Structure 1
C-alpha cells in the first residue's frame, strides 16, 4: 500500500507541470476574486467553487479519490485546534458580557479616552497588549471587542476602528517574544529569536509611524456619534444593567497571566469562561443554569432598552463562530489539496531562477508568502512553505537568515488578516462582525509592513 502511494505521489509530481500549476493558480485567484468582489458572493461559495475546480483538476490528472480525501484531511487537521479555540472564544465573549467584564472595560475607557485621540490610542494599546500576551487573537477578543463598542458609540466608522484594532494586535504579535508566528519564523530560518525581533524593527517601525499618523488624521473626523449627554446616558445604562467593578476584570487578568506563562490556549480559555461564570453568580446569584447554557450556546442578549447598548452587547456564543468555522474548514480543505497535488511546491521550485540578488530574493519570498495566504489562507503554512523552499537560496548569495525570517513574518503572518478566507481574517470577521474587505483599507500596518520588507530589501546599503 505504501509503495502504491509512493508511486502515485511520484506520478503526480511528474505530471503537474509548471504551466498547469500556474494556469490553475491564475484561474483559482480569478474565480475567487470574481465571486467575492464581482458577484458579491459569500466567501464560502467562492472557496467551495475553487475546491470543486481543484478536485476536477485532480480527477483529470487521474489522481485517486483516496489521495484527494487524504489531501483534504491533511489540510483540515492542523486547523482543528484553532477551530476549537474559535468556538471557545465565542463562548468567552458571551460570558464576559454577562459577568460585566466588557461593560466595565467600556465604562473605564469612556472616562479616560478622548474622541480625538481614540484611534491612535486603540492602535497603541492593542499593540502593547499584543506584545505582552503574544497573541493577536487574544488581543482582538479582549480589549478589541471593548474598543470596538466604544468606537461605535463615539461615532467612528466600525471598519476604521477595526483597522486600528487589527493593526495594533498584529504590531504586537510581530515583536513579541511570546508570539507563535515570531517563534515559527525564527525557527524556520534558524535564527535566534531576539535577533529576529531586533531585525523586525527595520520594517515594523516605519509601518508603525505611518499607521499612527494615519489613525491620528482619521481620529479628527469621526461621523456623528454620541454627544456628551448621550454618552452619559449610555454610561448610566451600563452601570444600571451590568456589574461595573474591578472584580469583573479578573477573567481578563487570568487570560493575560496564562498567555504570559505560555499556558496552552484551550485550558486558558476554559479557565476564563468558568471564572466569568463564577463572577456572574457572585453578583447575580439568581442566575439559572439554563441562562448560562443559552449564553454559551447562542450568545448573550442585552435587554437594556437602549438601542446602542443592546446592539453592541448582543453577541458571542458558540453558534456565532460557526460561520467562521465552516469557512476555515473549506479554506483548509482547498489548501490541503493544493499541497497534496504539489501545486504550491511546483510553483515555488520554478521561481528560483529569479532569485539572483538580495532584492529579488526578498521580493519573491514575500510574494510567495502572500500567494500561499491567498491560496491556502493559513498563516503558518505561509511561513513554513516559502521558508523551507528558499532557505538555501539565501545562503547561496550570502544573505543572512534573519532577512528570511523577517520576510516570512511580515508577508506571511502579518498579511493573513487581509485575506477574507484566511484564518485571521475569518476570526476577526466572526469576532467583531466586520467583513475583511470592509476593514482592509484601514488595517494600515498589515499591508505597510510587507511593503517596507520589499523596499528595505532593495536598499543599496544593508541594515546592520
Structure 2
C-alpha cells in the first residue's frame, strides 16, 4: 500500500539537495549536474522504499517533467545553431564594429538595460530580446573590454522588465489568470515595485559604466580589433538581415524556434553569396561552431579577442546544457510526481498568521519552487492555489497575491543556474549565472520593495469579491 509522504519524509530530499549543492559545488568543486543527479537518485530511493512507488512510475514522472521543458530546450539548442551562422555571415562582426564606434563605453551598461527593457516590453518576449539585441551587445562589450558579467546583468534585468510588465508577456498573463485579476490592473499595481527598482537599476548601471570605463574611449587594442573585423568581412544591409528576421518574429510574437532557424539559414546563404565563403563551411559551423579557419584565417592572423568574439555557437556545444537540464528535471519530476513538494509547501503555508507573513511566505514559496523545479510558471500555479484562501481570510485583494508571484517568482527565475531561464541566459550570453547574479539589482530591489510595502501596509488593497473577473 502506497503511503502519503509525511512532512519530514517530504523535506528530506530537499534538505539533501541543498547540502549536496553547497558541499558539492562550493567545497568539492563538482559540476552542478552531478549534484542534481545525486539528489534525483536519493529522491528516487525514498520514493521507492518509503512511498512504495515502482521504478516505472518514477521514470514516468521524470519523462513527463523533461517533456514539459522541451520548448525552452529547443530554443537554447537553436540559439547555438544561429550564433555560429551570425559569425559566418558577418552579422555579429558588423553589429560589434558599428556598436563599438557609436556607443560610448561609459554608457554601454545603461543602454543595454534600456534597449532590452523597451524591446521586451513591446514584444513581451524576454528571451527573444536576449537572443537578438543581447547577443549583439555582448559582442560590443567584448570589443570595448567591458565588464561582461555586469553587461550580462544589464541585458537580463532589462529583458525581464518587459517580462514582468508587458501585456503580451506569458508570465504576466499567467499571473493574471491564476489570481483572477484584470491584466491591466495587475500591470498598474506592479508599477509600485517596478518603477523604484528601475530607477535604482539605471543609477547603478550608470555608476558601473563610469567607474569601469573612466576613460570613456576605445583602447588601442579595440581599434586594432575594429580594423581586423573590417578586413575579414564586407559590411552592408545583407549581414543585418539575420538579426532583423529575429526582431520581426519577436515583434509579431511568432514562435521562437522558427525565428532562430530562419535567421540561421538566411545567415548561411548570406555568408556564402555575399561574403563569398564556402557553403560547406557554413553548414559545418551550425554543428561544430564557427571557426576562423573556415573562412581562410590562420590561428595567429588575428587578435585573441577577435577569435574569442567570433568562434562560438554550434549544436554540438550545447551538450553540457542538455545534461544539466535533464538532471535538474529528474529531481523536479520525482519531487512533484510523488507529492513530496506539495506536502512540504502546504506545511509551510499552514503557519501563516499575519499579512506580512502571508506575502513573505508567498514570495519564499515561489523562490523554493523555482529552486526545486526550475519553472517560473509552476510557482505561480502552485502558490496561487495554496495562498488564495489565506489572502481572502486576511481581507487582501488578489492583486496583493499576484505581486509576489511576479516580484519573487518571475524575478528569481533567471538567477537560478539550473532553471530553464537561468540556463538560457547563461548559454545565450556566454556568462555563468553566478557571475552576473550579484549585479542584478533590478531583481533584488523588486523583492525588497515588495517586503517594505508588506511590512508598512503601503498599497495593500483590501479584498473585493466583485473584482474577481475575467483577466482578459
Normalised TM-score (structure 2): 0.90
Q: Which residue of 1 aligns with 2:334?
A: 337
Q: What is the CA distance between 1:228 and its match in structure 2?
A: 4.0
Q: Which residue of 1 aligns with 2:42?
A: 53
Aligned partners of 2:311, 2:178: CA distance in 1, in Å?
42
Q: Which residue of 2 aligns with 1:241?
A: 232
Q: 1:392 to 1:246 in 2, by over 3 A?
A: farther
Q: Which residue of 1 aligns with 2:252?
A: 261
Q: Which residue of 1 aligns with 2:9?
A: 20
Structure 2 residue aligned with 1:33, among 22, 28, 37? 22
Q: 1:305 to 1:169 in 2, by over 3 A?
A: same
**Which has the larger displacement, 454-463 or 208-217?**
454-463
Q: Deviations over 1:25-47 (max 9, x none)?
A: 22221221221122221111111
Question: Is the CA contact (8 Å cut-off) linking 1:131 and 1:173 kept in structure 2?
Answer: yes
Q: Which residue of 1 aligns with 2:262?
A: 271
Aligned partners of 2:304, 2:28: CA distance in 1, in Å?
33
Q: Which residue of 2 aligns with 1:170?
A: 160
Matched ranges for 1:41-440 at <5 A: 41-61=30-50, 62-222=52-212, 227-288=218-279, 290-302=280-292, 303=297, 305-440=302-437
Aligned partners of 1:244, 1:294: CA distance in 2, in Å?
23
Aligned partners of 1:253, 1:161: CA distance in 2, in Å?
22
Aligned partners of 2:367, 2:97: CA distance in 1, in Å?
39
RMSD (Å) for aligned C-alpha atoms: 2.0
Aligned partners of 1:145, 1:73: CA distance in 2, in Å?
32
Structure 1 outlier segments of 4+, above 6 Å? 223-226
Secondary structure, aligned partner of 1:420 = coil
Question: Is the CA contact (8 Å cut-off) linking 2:198 and 2:442 kept in structure 1?
Answer: yes
| Aligned pairs, number | 452
Aligned partners of 2:80, 2:410: CA distance in 1, in Å?
23
Aligned partners of 2:243, 2:381: CA distance in 1, in Å?
32
Secondary structure, aligned partner of 2:69 = helix
Question: Is the CA contact (8 Å cut-off) linking 1:157 and 1:223 kept in structure 2?
Answer: no
Question: Is the CA contact (8 Å cut-off) linking 1:379 and 1:412 kept in structure 2?
Answer: yes
Secondary structure, aligned partner of 1:379 = coil
Secondary structure, aligned partner of 1:398 = coil
Consecutive unaligned residues of structure 1, counting only runs of 5 or more, are 1-7
Q: Which residue of 2 aligns with 1:441?
A: 438
Question: Is the CA contact (8 Å cut-off) linking 2:128 and 2:256 kept in structure 1?
Answer: no
Q: Deviations over 1:242-264 (max 9, x none)?
A: 23223322222222222222212
Normalised TM-score (structure 1): 0.92
**Which has the larger displacement, 144-153 or 363-372?**
144-153
